Amino acid sequence: MSVYLREFFVETEAEELVSFLAGKTWPFHGAATMAEATVREQIARGRYHSDEEKKTFWAMDEQEQRVGLVRVFDLGDPTPMFDLRIAESHRGRGIGLQALRKLVEFVFTTYEDKLRLEGHTRVDNLAMRKVFHKAGFVKEAVHRQSWPSEDGAIYDSIGYAILREDWLNNKTTPICWDDFPY
């Protein structure tokens, strides 16, 4: 299955976004489920779009079906971040990897000032951790007990990033973890 990204248009697709996000289970996000009112409030507050700071894209399949959502934010910074969600019925098919690769290409070809792209996931989200690795991202951080969940548990989060230079040169620059003994 081939996937491409298509920009979300808040003026005409707000209800599609509400339908995509609300009432579904997003097990590795802070809010595993969202009510329709919550999504509408987020849309009204500009969470999914602003001309300068954030953009949202649908991950679309060959049949023009929305199979995922990618939100990139902090576009005013040298290191933007992103959120990636794949519809439950489409998980495990490589869509996340394709969508992330498309997002990396978009960020680095559209914004010449972006040095890197960063993302975080819960320590137990092994599927996303594999996607980061396969997309050329490097594990840079472990944030202990930093990811609260709806059920009250607190998980570690893992930070990953890809450098523009690495993406341009199709390489991965490893991190020197042992530069000091402390």
Q: Give dist(CA 106, CA 95) in Å, integer.
A: 16
Q: Which residue has the tokens 């999504």?
A: 39
- In a domain, residue 156? The reply is yes
pLDDT per position as a tens digit, 9-44:
999 999 999 999 998 999 898 788 899 999 999 999
- In a domain, residue 142? The reply is yes
Q: Give dist(CA 115, CA 113) in Å, integer.
A: 6
Number of domains observed in the structure of the chain: 1
- In a domain, residue 176? The reply is no
- List the domain range (segments joined by +) for residue 144: 4-169
Closest CA to 20 of 59, 47, 46: 59
Q: Residue 31: give its domain's CATH number.
A: 3.40.630.30
pLDDT of residue 56: 97
- In a domain, residue 17? The reply is yes
pLDDT per position as a tens digit, 47-62:
999 878 999 999 999 9
CB 79, CB 161: distance < 8 Å: yes
